[in-house]
């Protein structure tokens, strides 16, 4: 009871509330700009939060990152350009709803599922953090390997109509991820003497190229399509959302649970949580029309809930054991150490007020997302009134500066042009881009865990099957591949001669 009173005392501080509101607006704006990620928003906050008290400093990071992950849905739904990588999984569905004149439904479903996902993960974080973190701690490189492969498998299965082209795209993405220094020995690979390639291809410029530049290329070659942006209206974002969320409660709950669990596993963040949740929901829709409105909304709310839930999940190992769940919580841990809030089991004994205040801020930030999110959608909607001819070069400049600001090199700007053209030709040839993108994100994780496991075992592949957790993950992963292959063969047999 003493703690509850203390926590309420901290939360009712006007300074803290002002910090939360300001960082919420900041997170929404940065997340809504394609090319600027939740991670970048967090990184840019660090110099500012260094001058704050410990709880407001962590509150600013929690609020801005949660808002940025949701705000990434806005350009994804309105322009098919995910603001953050966490929104990439369901961008096509969200955008197709907008093309059907249901932008309000698309954005409202994204907003309210994000809020519910965030709230549910905050509840888990508060109540069950120690137990879940214990499970994650039992993972070795072998389990991480299987988890990453499972994530890749999901991306391939949801990639498109052709499983073969999905696998080819995945391998292509994995191949691109090998550019740079080898994670085990540090040997340069595929750099061809170019210094800029030593650090690998930057993820943000690649995402900007694949998703934004290729879309701009389609827009300028089909002016009529672009014109629809200007004619679309967002409509009501909140109307009927209570009923919609209740109708899709199973998907929201599934996405929130998956997101929290995936977020709690070190290395797997909001992006992977969204992809896995999206794939699971897609798989559950077997036999239904994937292009039907209800199915699109189901996938959207499931993945939308998952990516925001992953943020809360990532704080479980971060706060309880001091292990970052993702890059954002890695920054949080550094700030906590610098502020004297040493993360770990002892924080619950030494600083109970601070840690429970931090948990409570998750609830405040997610509830604040409703009014501020609607405001952000309305403000962003004004961009639709700008003629497409003017919108195209403005977005292009945002992409250029966004790529430059992340990498600080003109090389990154050149990359967006090359990757944009590649993405355009891939889509024109029915080669799904999503598996390539996830291959890029998870490639280094897979290689590092694979090589570490192989080196530990001296080349004996049985190391991947000698622990109960590893066997369970291996069965799920290999089973999903076998199932996907079998389903494709059945589909092909039904619809001959199309096999690929």
Partner 1 sequence: MKVQDVLVGLFFIVIGVLMIDHAADLKPPRHLKFGPGFFPLLIGSGLILVGGVIALLGLRTLRTEPLWHRPEWSRTRQGWVRFCSIPAAIALYVLIVDAAGFLLTAVLVMVLVLTVSGEPLRRSVPAGAVTAVVLTAIFASVLHVPLPWGPLQTISGWLLW
Distance between CA atoms of residues 114 and 257, nearest Å:
13
| Closest among 190, 207, 199 to 87, alpha carbons compared | 207
204 is written with which tokens? 């943000």
458 scored as a contact of partner 1 (CB under 8 A) = yes
Check binding of 489 to partner 1 (CB under 8 A): no
**Of the ranges 64-72, 298-306, 323-331, 406-414, which one interacts with partner 1 (CB under 8 A)?**
406-414
Q: Note whether 190 binds partner 1 by CB under 8 A.
A: yes
Please, which residue, 42 or 308, has the CB nearer to partner 1? 42
> φ and ψ at 473, to 5 degrees?
-65, -35
The residue ranges of DSSP E strands in 295-359, in sequence order, are none
Nearer to partner 1, 172 or 321 (CB): 172
Closest to 420 measured CA to CA, from 124, 148, 215: 215
Place of tokens 């004994």: 349
Distance, first Cα to last Cα, the chain: 63
Binding flag, residue 71, partner 1 (CB under 8 A): no
Number of residues that bind partner 1 (CB under 8 A): 57
Query: Are residues 160 and 430 in contact, defined by beta-carbon separation less than 8 angstroms?
Result: yes
Q: Does 500 bind partner 1 (CB under 8 A)?
A: yes
Closest distance between partner 1 and the C-beta of residue 412, in Å?
10
420 part of the interface to partner 1, by CB under 8 A: yes
The answer to whether 429 contacts partner 1 (rule: CB under 8 A) is yes
Interaction between residue 165 and partner 1 (CB under 8 A): yes
Identity of the residue, 184 or 472, whose beta carbon is nearer to partner 1 in the bound complex: 184
For the segment 218-247, give every residue that binds partner 1 (CB under 8 A). 220-223
| Under 8 Å between Cβ of 204 and 35 | yes
How far apart are the C-alpha atoms of 357 and 353, rounded to whole Å? 6
Closest CA to 204 of 426, 30, 394: 30
The candidate with the shortest Cα–Cα distance to 322, out of 133, 464, 184, is 133
Binding mask 374-403 for partner 1 (x = CB under 8 A): ---------------xx-xxx-xxx-xx--
| Residue span binding partner 1 (CB under 8 A) among the ranges 125-133, 236-244, 301-309, 424-432 | 424-432
Identify which of 204, 223, 214 has the alpha carbon closest to the alpha carbon of residue 271: 204
Nearer to partner 1, 287 or 497 (CB): 497
- In 134-223, at which residue ranges do the beta strands (DSSP E only) sit? 180-181, 188-189
Nearer to partner 1, 196 or 238 (CB): 196
Q: Which residue has the tokens 């700009």?
A: 33
Taking the complex as a whole, the smallest distance from the CB of residue 221 to partner 1 amounts, in Å, to 4
Cβ neighbours, 10 Å, residue 490: 10
In the complex, the smallest distance separating the C-beta of residue 454 from partner 1, rounded to whole angstroms, is 6
Is 174 a binding residue for partner 1 by CB under 8 A? The answer is yes
Planar angle of CA 30, 384, 225, nearest 5 degrees: 115
Among 410, 475, 486, 489, binds partner 1 (CB under 8 A): 410
Nearer Cβ to partner 1 (112/398): 398
**What residues make contact with partner 1 under the rule CB under 8 A?**
44, 164-165, 167-168, 171-172, 174-175, 178, 182, 184-185, 187, 189-190, 213, 216-217, 220-223, 389-390, 392-394, 396-398, 400-401, 404-405, 408, 410, 413-414, 416-417, 420-421, 425, 428-429, 431, 447, 450-451, 454-455, 458-459, 497, 499-500
């Amino acid at each position: 009871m003493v703690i509850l009173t203390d926590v309420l005392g901290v939360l009712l501080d006007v300074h803290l509330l002002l910090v939360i509101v300001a960082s919420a607006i900041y997170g929404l704006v940065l997340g809504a700009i394609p090319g600027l990620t939740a991670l970048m928003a967090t990184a840019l906050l660090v110099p500012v939060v260094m001058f704050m008290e410990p709880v407001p400093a962590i509150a600013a990071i929690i609020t801005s990152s949660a808002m940025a992950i949701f705000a990434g849905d806005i350009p994804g739904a309105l322009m098919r350009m995910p603001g953050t990588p966490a929104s990439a999984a369901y961008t096509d569905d969200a955008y197709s709803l907008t093309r059907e004149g249901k932008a309000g439904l698309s954005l409202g479903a994204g907003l309210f599922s994000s809020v519910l996902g965030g709230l549910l993960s905050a509840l888990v974080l508060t109540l069950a953090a120690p137990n879940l973190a214990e499970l994650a701690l039992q993972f070795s490189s072998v389990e991480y390997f299987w988890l990453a492969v499972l994530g890749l498998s999901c991306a391939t299965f949801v990639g498109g109509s052709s499983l073969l082209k999905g696998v080819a795209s995945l391998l292509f993405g994995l191949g691109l991820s090998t550019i740079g220094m080898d994670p085990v020995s540090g040997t340069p690979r595929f750099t061809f003497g170019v210094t800029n390639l030593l650090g690998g291809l930057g993820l943000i410029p690649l995402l900007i190229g694949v998703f934004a530049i290729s879309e701009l290329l389609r827009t300028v070659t089909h002016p009529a399509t672009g014109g629809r942006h200007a004619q679309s209206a967002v409509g009501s974002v909140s109307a009927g959302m209570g009923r919609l969320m209740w109708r899709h409660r199973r998907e929201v709950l599934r996405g929130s649970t998956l997101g929290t669990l995936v977020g709690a596993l070190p290395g797997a963040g909001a992006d992977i949580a969204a992809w896995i949740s999206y794939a699971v929901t897609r798989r559950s829709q077997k036999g239904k029309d994937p292009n039907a409105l209800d199915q699109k909304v189901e996938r959207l709310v499931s993945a939308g809930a998952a990516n925001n839930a992953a943020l809360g999940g990532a704080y479980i190992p971060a706060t309880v054991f001091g292990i970052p769940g993702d890059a954002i919580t890695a920054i949080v841990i550094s700030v906590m150490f610098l502020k004297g809030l040493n993360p770990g089991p002892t924080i619950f004994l030494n600083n109970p007020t601070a840690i429970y205040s931090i948990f409570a801020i998750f609830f405040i930030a997610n509830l604040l997302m409703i009014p501020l999110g609607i405001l952000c959608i309305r403000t962003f909607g004004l961009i639709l009134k700008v003629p497409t001819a003017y919108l195209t070069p403005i977005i292009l400049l945002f992409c250029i500066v966004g790529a430059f600001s992340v990498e600080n090199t003109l090389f990154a700007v050149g990359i967006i042009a090359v990757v944009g053209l590649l993405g355009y030709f891939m889509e024109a040839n029915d080669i799904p881009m999503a598996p390539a993108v996830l291959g890029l994100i998870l490639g280094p994780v897979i290689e590092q865990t694979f090589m570490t496991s192989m080196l530990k075992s001296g080349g004996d592949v049985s190391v991947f099957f000698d622990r109960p957790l590893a066997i369970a993950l291996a069965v799920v992963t290999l089973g999903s591949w076998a199932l996907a292959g079998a389903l494709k063969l059945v589909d092909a047999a039904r619809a001959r001669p199309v096999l690929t």
